[in-house]
Structure 1
Amino acid sequence: MNAPAGPPRRERPELKPTPQLRPARIVVSLLTCALVIAAGWAAWSYIGTNVLAKHRQGEMAVALADDWKGNRQGDAAKDRVKLGDVFAVLRVPRFGDDWEVPVVSGIDDTALTSGVGWFSDSQRPGQLGNFAVAGHRITNGQPFRKFPELRAGDLVEVETRTHVYTYELRNSGTDTRVDFSEIWVVQPVPEKARESKDQRTSAKPDTALITLTTCSELFHTDDRSVVFGELVDAEHV
């Protein structure tokens, strides 16, 4: 007696060879990924950081104004200011009627993201000597984007807790260009420091100045554009 027949045997499917990527296709894929990453980085650097920085600067300006309410007595030049503190507001009418940014102690990335940074070894606003600040022209809020538009005779205001100081610029935003290593521009008496071998001087200042500095070009550069101004008015608020 024959054994019962089992289920019919299924034919094993024929395995197809795995397609191999051609070298050219691999290169194109890698380049595409690189371009996507680069585009994302650029969008963050030139758009994202500006949005976040401007929002942060606005919050800091509001907080500073609230702190000053009912606290306008005394002399702000004697206030203790630590690195990272916001202690003044800078206004440049040439940049717009509503343009204003916080002034932050220090010139590190945090300070320059929060507004304009103050060279903390320079003088305070209104004092004899040189009140020196730096700001970005691009990214991180780009407060000095319109720096080349500055002209001799333009006014710059610096408001502290107790005073509004008004400076008149001596030169335009494209007149003075220096290497980032030249420190004479932030010294108490810049003209004398420029003549000194080590770019410093012991000359006693007899004028209250302001110095604004920024990158000379929109993208990476070691050069700085500089404008100088002289105090023309000080109003107690």
Structure 2
Amino acid sequence: MSTESQTPHRGRRSVFVAGIVMVVAGLVVLGYVAWELYGTTIVSKQRQQDAASRIERAWGSGETTVTTEFGSAEALIEIPRIGEDYRVPVLEGTSDRALGAGFGHFDGTAGPGEVGNFALAGHRVTHGEPLHDLPELRPGDEIRVLTREKTYVYALTSGGEDLIVPFTSIWVTDPLPDNPVRGGVEPDQKKGQRLITLTTCSELFHTDNRMIAFGKLVSEEPTR
């Protein structure tokens, strides 16, 4: 067969192979996106349920803190507006492992019910997305923090969409967050308050900014 007759055949084969490679690459990308959006959430929700169950069993045995493979935990979060069955564990620290199993408690911030700022981070999409509905929260909505002995009830003082800041704005986790923007959203500037701060990504698919909601302690009650 002449070289001239082989050239078109080889050209068509190269185009076919390139097409197959592009299709496979596309499927890989789609598979990754599907895993990030749905797979990680399914896995993380199971982790949240397992961790919450372990915490409750530990409380039943008289223990205050339980150590899980995702970190130590001593509290559960309930947000009635999000749902009656909403109950998410709080893990110490904000590592990927902790955030993959619930809320992460910022190191060095106040504990549940303590004076200062009980500052928490949570995913808005993927990995269980505990703060997916943060934009729906309004001032006055309850955030219930359950520990073995007490349940601390906080009321939001700002809505979920009221404050968006760059991810570098670490002032939001200060004991008394003081917004550097004059007239910006912040808690009442009174010392000795018992505050809570919820932080999550403001954009769904990248992490340049953070959505912030502040709250204050309004009551305590025995944990049932």
For this structure pair, what is the TM-score category when the shorter chain's length is used for normalisation?
A: 0.7 to 0.9
Paired with 1:81 and 1:59, the residues of 2 have a C-alpha distance of 12
Residue 21 of structure 1, CA deviation: 5.1
Listed as ranges, the gaps of 5+ residues in structure 2 are 1-5, 182-188
2:119 to 132, 141, 162: 132
Tell me which of 158, 174, 182 is aligned to 1:171.
158
Q: Is the 8 A contact 1:148 1:174 kept in 2?
A: yes
2:153 is paired with a residue whose SS is strand
Aligned partners of 1:61 and 1:165: how far apart in 2? Answer: 17
1:210 match: 196
> How far apart in 1 are the matches of 2:169 and 2:153?
26
Tell me the amino acid that sits aligned with residue 49 of structure 1: T
In structure 2, the residue matched to 1:4 is: none
Contact 1:185-1:194 at 8 Å conserved across structures: no
2:23 counterpart (11, 18, 32): 32
Residues 114-155 of structure 1: CA deviation (Å, up to 9, x unaligned) = 101000210001000000000001110111111100101101
Aligned mates of 2:11, 2:39 — CA distance in 1:
37
- Per-residue CA distance 1:64-102 (angstroms, 9 max, x = gap): 000001527xxx6xx799982111001111111111100
Identify if the C-alpha distance between structure 1 residues 180 and 138 changes in structure 2 by more than 3 Å, giving closer, same or farther.
same
Partner of 1:13: none
RMSD of aligned residue pairs (Cα, Å): 2.5
Which residue of structure 2 lines up, in the alignment, with residue 93 of structure 1? 80
Q: Could you tell me whether the CA contact under 8 Å between 1:173 and 1:225 is conserved in 2?
A: yes
User: Does the CA-based 8 Å contact 1:81-1:105 persist in structure 2?
Assistant: no
Structure 2 counterpart of 1:56, which letter?
Answer: R
Gapped regions of structure 1 (runs ≥ 5): 1-16, 196-202
Match of 1:155 in 2: 142
Residues 1:20 and 2:10 are matched in the alignment: yes
Give the TM-score of the pair, scaled to structure 2: 0.86
1:79-90 to 2 correspondence within 5 Å?
84-90=71-77
CA distance in 2, matches of 1:170, 1:143: 20
TM-score (normalizing by structure 1): 0.81
3-state SS of 1:57 partner: helix
**Residue 216 of structure 1 contacts residue 225 of structure 1 at CA under 8 Å; is this kept in 2?**
yes
Taking the aligned partners of 2:16 and 2:144, their CA distance within structure 1 comes to: 59
Distance of 2:174 and 2:61 partners within structure 1: 34
Report how many aligned residue pairs link the two structures.
209
